[in-house]
Amino acid sequence: MSEPSSPNPNIESLSRVQILIAMGVTAVVLLLIARLWLVFDGSMQMLTVEWSSSAGILGIGIGLSITATSALLYRLWAAYRQSADFYLELVIKPLALPDLIWLGLLPGMSEELLFRGVMLPAIGLTWFGLVISSLCFGVLHFSGSQHWSYVVWASVIGAVLGLSAILTGNLLVPIVAHITTNLISSCIWKLRN
């Protein structure tokens, strides 16, 4: 039996170059949205990035916790496993191992800047702001109704990252956590597959 060329027959597999271009374009679009938001809402203060070793260590710890929880869910929740495999097969399979650095950095920085750095403070550093920004983050990861579990997971992770931003007042924590999670989980999947 031959292996399908795409994890979903309705979606054609992308090449390495197409994936890298899509990551770069998506990062630029998210950064532009964040910048325009700041320009048009002149009274809004973006969450700041304060460089410190404790923030970096906390971010790595949160990222490792997210990765471990994802691995546990992957084993226990069939719908999540299917959704994660679909996404990882589509995005990571065509990439070379060094490309995974970009997969960690570009979304980790651009998504955190928009969702936790700009959107969360604009809506409010409250439970309402946390829920709305987390749901928007989850929707960004929507890849079809059959993969709803990945949206649920991304929304929960958005809440964890948002809560870390609210509690520390430092955007560096969720950025490092996001980069850590993306790098480790993609490297593990790539090496296993």
Q: Is 115 exposed, middle or buried (0-12, 13-18, 19+ CB in 10 A)?
A: buried
Tens digits of per-residue pLDDT, 57-97?
999 999 999 999 999 999 999 999 998 888 888 889 899 99
More confident: 19 or 6: 19
pLDDT for 170 beyond 70: yes
Tens digits of per-residue pLDDT, 93-134?
899 999 999 999 999 999 999 999 999 999 999 999 999 999
Per the CB < 8 A criterion, the answer to whether 154 and 69 are in contact is: no
Closest CA to 125 of 136, 133, 114: 133
Cα-based angle 95, 100, 105 (whole degrees, multiple of 5): 135
pTM score, whole prediction = 0.89
* Average pLDDT of the residues of the chain: 90
> 67: which 2 tokens?
């990765």
The residue count of the chain comes to 193
Per the CB < 8 A criterion, the answer to whether 182 and 110 are in contact is: no
